[in-house]
Amino acid sequence: NQKKRVWDSFVTHAASDLAVGIMGLGVMGRDSAERLRDLGFKVAGWSRSRKHIDGVHCYAGEAEFDSFLRRTDVLVSLLPATAETDGIINRETIRKLSRKGPFGAPVVINAGRGRQQVAEDILAALDASELHAATLDVFVVEPLPQDSPLWTHPRVTITPHCAADSD
């Protein structure tokens, strides 16, 4: 609206309207889950091994991965880089995410490792409206090459691997 010089409000959603799913419940994932929970989001987490966080539904292992995805409107990846997590944010994973949230399609946020996302799958899912938006902080090649289509996609937000820079 600002670019068009249009004075018009836009739809906002209460935190309680969104189911956030955090992949990776280490130090950053746990802290993020607790803070989002305290803000009123419906928060769940998934990790390889079972974790317990008050007020956060914790899923574990491959057997519970699809259940975790089905309840998730906003997928946040804070996973470590391992052979098992390489390429985990792919078209198959995106297609398993919830379509019941207020955006009608899920959102992906990757602040974990670039190896976890398949950029071509994210772009294809955005173009097919299987994904509402993506915010990406990490990439396989950094800095992100100037010719990457991620830079210009209207529903992609790029940050320069700075998500963990905080006090």
Active site residues: 113, 161
SS3 content of the chain, % helix, strand, coil (to 5): 25, 20, 55
Q: Do residues 88 and 114 lie in contact, with contact meaning Cβ atoms separated by under 8 Å?
A: no
Contact between 124 and 151 (Cβ < 8 Å): no
Task: Give the number of other Cβ atoms within 10 Å of residue 58's Cβ.
Answer: 20
